[in-house]
Amino acid sequence: MNNKQKAITFSYDDGVIQDIRLIELMNQYGLKGTFNLNSEVLGTKGMLTYEGKKIAHYKIHPQDVPQVYEGHEVAVHTLTHPNLTQLPPGEVIRQVEQDRLNLSELVGYEVVGMAYPCGGVNNDERTADIIKEHTGVKYSRTITSNGCFDKQENLYRFNPSAYHLDFDRLMELGRQFIELDAQTPQIFYIWGHSYEMDYHPTYWQRLEEFFQLISNKPDIFYGTNREVLL
């Protein structure tokens, strides 16, 4: 963390085209993130419905991955986005390790990070142990936001601080983190999906307001998940 006690990092799932706009915004404010991709469905097109509104869920094309995510980190999200807790060990290993190898080949460096796919209960100790013992993954993020900044011992079930659409909480935690006089390592970890920014006309603006709040602080390190956690 560059000899700084405080760090901010972001994690975004699914590898969708809205990542392009998000990364442009992050770059504008000097922020870094990790983007978790499903290598077997890159380039596919889908639609999601949110409160009656159609939202594009188009995946980045494989050949565009290195350029789109340059300066940030690419990480595992499994080959096809299954709930790993419901799969036998061999399939857990295949979904994770083959995705890791595919992505490593695409980006030209060894991919070591991960975020668990699916909502609800998407991780457990069994799955974490399989990943730890049988793949090259060195950390994996859950979707259980804990509102905390303390360094966590279990990197294979790493809980984020906040979900990016919880804007009021996000701003509150951002102010707390800026004012924090850290004597030990503190990590503000934010997660989400960039396509969710299209749910409402104000969401991109509100996220940028958060970026404005937290950026360019001399006592904060801004890094990818890998840079911050490892």
Distance CA 134, CA 43 (A): 28
Q: Give residue 1's pLDDT.
A: 84
What digits encode the pLDDT tens for the residues 96-141?
A: 999 999 999 999 999 999 999 999 999 999 999 999 999 999 999 9
Distance CA 213, CA 178 (A): 9
Mean pLDDT of the chain: 98
The fourth-level CATH superfamily of domain 6-229 is Glycoside hydrolase/deacetylase (3.20.20.370)
* 39-40-46-47 Cα dihedral, nearest 10 degrees: -50
Q: Region 214-221: what's the mean pLDDT?
A: 98
Going from N- to C-terminal start, the domains of the chain cover 6-229
What digits encode the pLDDT tens for the residues 139-161?
A: 999 999 999 999 999 999 999 99
Q: Region 2-6: what's the mean pLDDT?
A: 92
Q: Give residue 168's pLDDT.
A: 98
Query: Which pLDDT band holds residue 64 (cuts at 50, 70, 90)?
Result: very high
3-state helix, strand, coil in the chain (%, to 5): 40, 20, 40
String of DSSP letters for 92-156: HHIIIIIHHHHHHHHHTS----BB--SSSS---HHHHHHHHHHSS----B-S---S--B--S-GG
What are the tokens at 111? Answer: 């991919």
Q: Region 167-196: what's the mean pLDDT?
A: 98
